[in-house]
């Protein structure tokens, strides 16, 4: 090559050195800030117990059948008795929750009545059970 100039070709390689440098700097920053955030927490040495266990809230399984019958925990129950059973469960455990399952042919008003009943009697958490395998729009 004349004149001391070299001809360079197209750069086809990716230079990962700057990327690695940036990642290492970010890693150091995250390590330092995580340490500072952890120090701001209140440190408490909790006592240990061999018999300790997490207490799950009471769950009421309420079912409305296609025929309009009510079930509590798989056993038939009258509407008046359902109110008494929910009231008794909330008195025993204020964190009582309800799982409501209704046949898809049950009227909307009947399901809303059950929801309103459990909510009025102190159940703060409830869910409607569904079949996730059959998620499609219902027919007319």
Question: Which CATH entry fits the domain spanning 59-130: 3.40.640.10, 1.20.1300.10, 3.30.420.270, 1.10.3720.10?
Answer: 3.30.420.270
Is it the case that residue 39 has pLDDT exceeding 80?
no
Encode pLDDT of 2-25 as tens digits: 555 666 778 788 888 999 999 999
Buried b / exposed e along 101-137 (16+ C-beta atoms within 10 A): bbeeebeeeebeebbebbeebebeebeeeeeeeeeee
Spans of all domains in the chain? 59-130
- Tell me: the pLDDT tens digits for 78-131? 988 998 999 999 999 888 899 888 888 888 888 899 889 889 988 888 888 877
């Amino acid at each position: 090559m004349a004149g001391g100039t070299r001809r360079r070709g197209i750069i086809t390689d990716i230079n990962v050195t700057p990327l690695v440098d940036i990642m290492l700097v970010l890693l150091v920053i995250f390590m330092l800030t995580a340490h500072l955030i952890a120090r701001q927490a209140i440190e408490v040495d909790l006592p240990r117990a061999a018999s300790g266990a997490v207490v799950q809230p009471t769950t009421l399984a309420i079912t409305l059948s296609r025929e309009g019958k009510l079930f509590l925990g798989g056993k038939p129950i009258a509407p008046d008795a359902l109110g008494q059973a929910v009231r008794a469960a909330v008195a025993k455990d204020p964190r009582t929750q309800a799982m409501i399952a209704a046949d898809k042919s049950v009227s909307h008003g009947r399901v809303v009545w059950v929801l309103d009943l459990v909510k009025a009697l102190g159940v703060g958490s409830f869910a409607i059970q569904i079949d996730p395998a059959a998620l499609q729009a219902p027919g007319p």
